[in-house]
Structure 1
């Protein structure tokens, strides 16, 4: 679906669902996941339908993922960091306040 036009200049290593992945320094998590070929970021609470980013500016919440154990993170607004652990989110995620 998406692919990089050039290889990452300054690669950042992280994981998605426990699998190694690479982002370019400055990429958002959403951009990095799309470049890795990830086909779902979350599932809807009612039907379980897979969702991918829609707006890429933080308005739609279709890109919610869990980052380093924190649920409901908007992947389009978070910059990928070295060693970050990203997992897809099923349903509404953990709504418990920390």
Structure 2
């Protein structure tokens, strides 16, 4: 994947320090002041979580913090929006997983 290397407002990407982070147990490269969402997109990752009930894939939707589609777990903290959170060195990011439907199980159990 690619990144914008030279932006008139944000400056040159090559002036930023490269850092590493983990996503679902794989190490990837990012740049300082890059959001998790941007780093994942640049590394070819589009699916950030699955819908809690249906299991359908979810990714970046608005990319400005209005929706909650890009929720991931960061260093053990759930429901972090990837589009608003900067990557940090050695950060551990996990995709959102399908949760068990507790209500459905309670109904089935009677």
How many angstroms does 1:3 deviate by?
2.0
Considering fraction of residues, name the structure with more helix.
Answer: 2
What SS does the aligned partner of 1:34 have? helix
What SS does the aligned partner of 1:76 have? coil
Relative to the length of structure 2, the TM-score reads: 0.76
Which blocks of at least 5 consecutive residues in structure 1 are unaligned? 93-98
Residues 24-63 of structure 1: pairs in structure 2 closer than 5 A: 24-63=31-70
CA RMSD of aligned residues (A): 1.7
Runs of 4+ in 1 over 3 A off after TM superposition: none
Number of aligned residue pairs: 91
Structure 2: how far apart are the matches of 1:69 and 1:57? 23
Q: Deviations over 1:53-88 (max 9, x none)?
A: 111111111100010011110001100000100010
2:71 to 36, 46, 64: 64
How many angstroms does 1:47 deviate by?
1.2
Which blocks of at least 5 consecutive residues in structure 2 are unaligned? 6-12, 100-110
Q: Highest relative contact order (Cα 8 Å, sep 6+), 1 or 2?
A: 1
Larger radius of gyration: 2
What SS does the aligned partner of 1:14 have? strand
